Amino acid sequence: MAINLIRKLAAAGILFFASSAAVSAQTLVFTAIPDEDETKLVERFRGIADYLEEKLEVDVRYIPVKSYAAAVSAFRNNQVQLAWFGGLSGVQARSLVPGSQAIAQGVEDQAFNSYIIAHKSTGLEENEKLTEAVRGKTFTFGSKGSTSGRLIPEYYIREAFNQAPEEVFSRVGFSGNHTRTLRLVEAGTYELGAINYSVWTKELEDGNIDTDAVKVIYTTPSYPNYQWSIRGDVNERFGEGFMDRVKQALLDMEDKELLESFPRSGFIPVSNDAYTPIEMVGKQIGIID
């Protein structure tokens, strides 16, 4: 790729006039919400970067961030042009960048679910409803900006008890991500926690859950969740039709190893309108202004 050649020549001292601004102008930078352990995310998204670079014929770079809010800020400030967001973080980010679009979601993201999980010491069993048996227990959400680890579980807790989580549980925490929520409840540090079904299923399949210590006790109704969002000004930067090319590259992804790392069976088209329910819930419980 020409841009890689420029970098190599510059590094070797053969080419002196290639400015960092000229190089970065040709680089598509993307990020993702840190919903799992960073090691897993870096491995997954480096593979995505390689795939997109081949398909789009521009340099593509993944940069990790430390929080959901940092992912939204990077998108707003044009530090990244593309991001893998959850439902809530996507709504927040797109509202800050005129013309930005949700372009692809996982097949499974059309109807996503959150789980409430419980430590064995609670004696709680799976139920179709949240009952008074959970009251007074300790509870951890994931990130404060998580759709599946905070927004949706909080909505159904409020619906079940007509009270805020802090009034239902004896202690409420925020673990930071789904994997950490699982480990905290598994260890009994918190008696209950909210986790997305995708992380739970993947960890279960990989043999990483002590099912004698922790179990699912409640499943939320389905909702739209993760998606790829892209800034509205990418065509100006990378050329006419670039947004459509990125979208098509994501929709065409067939590499089983890459898809399994999400885990998703594939990506399908989506639009901003699909996330109106998430925006409404966010406003209803005061997370979105």
Is there a domain that residue 285 lies in? no
Q: pTM value?
A: 0.81
Judge if 253 and 190 occupy the same domain: no
Is there a domain that residue 287 lies in? no
Q: Which helix (H) or strand (E) holds 252?
A: none
Terminal alpha carbon distance of the chain: 44
Judge if 82 and 174 occupy the same domain: no
Which domain, by its residues, includes 213? Answer: 113-219
pLDDT at 6 exceeding the cut of 60 = no
pLDDT at 3 exceeding the cut of 50 = no
Judge if 163 and 65 occupy the same domain: no
Beta bridge partners of 214: 119
pLDDT at 262: 86
- Whole-number Å distance between alpha carbons of 177 and 64: 14
Average the pLDDT over 68-81 and give the result. 97
- Whole-number Å distance between alpha carbons of 209 and 131: 25
Judge if 150 and 95 occupy the same domain: no
Average the pLDDT over 1-27 and give the result. 43
Among residues 216, 199, 37, the alpha carbon closest in space to that of 118 is found at: 216
pLDDT at 11: 40
pLDDT band at residue 288 using 50, 70 and 90 as cut-offs: confident
pLDDT band at residue 229 using 50, 70 and 90 as cut-offs: very high
Are β-strands 114-119 and 138-141 bridged in parallel, bridged antiparallel, or unpaired? unpaired
pLDDT band at residue 14 using 50, 70 and 90 as cut-offs: very low
Whether residue 221 has a cis bond before it, omega within 30° of 0: no
- Number of folded domains in the chain? 2
Q: Which residue has the higher pLDDT, 185 or 289?
A: 185
Are 25 and 48 in contact by the 8 Å Cβ rule? The answer is no
- Whole-number Å distance between alpha carbons of 148 and 154: 9
Judge if 164 and 179 occupy the same domain: yes
Final residue before a domain boundary, out of 219, 235, 258: 219
Among residues 179, 227, 232, the alpha carbon closest in space to that of 201 is found at: 179
Contacts of 53 (CB under 8 A, 6+ apart): 1, 59, 60
Q: Identify the CATH number of the domain in which residue 94 sits.
A: 3.40.190.10
pLDDT band at residue 261 using 50, 70 and 90 as cut-offs: confident
Each residue of 194-220: pLDDT tens digit? 999 999 999 999 999 999 999 999 999
pLDDT at 17 exceeding the cut of 80 = no
Judge if 65 and 86 occupy the same domain: yes
**Strand arrangement of the beta sheet that strand 101-106 belongs to:** 59-62, 27-32, 82-85, 227-230, 101-106, 267-269
pLDDT at 22: 38
pLDDT at 16 exceeding the cut of 70 = no
pLDDT at 35: 84
Q: Which residue has the higher pLDDT, 257 or 35?
A: 257
Average the pLDDT over 238-260 and give the result. 96
Chain-wide mean pLDDT for the chain? 90
Judge if 120 and 200 occupy the same domain: yes
pLDDT at 26: 83
Average the pLDDT over 263-267 and give the result. 95
**What percent of the chain lies above the pLDDT cut of 90?**
84
Is there a domain that residue 130 lies in? yes
pLDDT at 149 exceeding the cut of 90 = yes
- Whole-number Å distance between alpha carbons of 252 and 230: 17
Contacts of 28 (CB under 8 A, 6+ apart): 52, 56, 58, 59, 60, 61, 81, 82, 234, 238, 246
Q: Which helix (H) or strand (E) holds 105?
A: strand 101-106
pLDDT at 2 exceeding the cut of 90 = no
Judge if 62 and 89 occupy the same domain: yes
Cα Rg of the chain (Å, integer): 20
Is there a domain that residue 282 lies in? no
Judge if 53 and 189 occupy the same domain: no
CA atoms within a 13 Å half-sphere pointing along the CA-CB vector of 261: 16
pLDDT band at residue 15 using 50, 70 and 90 as cut-offs: very low
pLDDT band at residue 21 using 50, 70 and 90 as cut-offs: very low
pLDDT at 38: 85
Judge if 146 and 185 occupy the same domain: yes
Final residue before a domain boundary, out of 195, 219, 243: 219
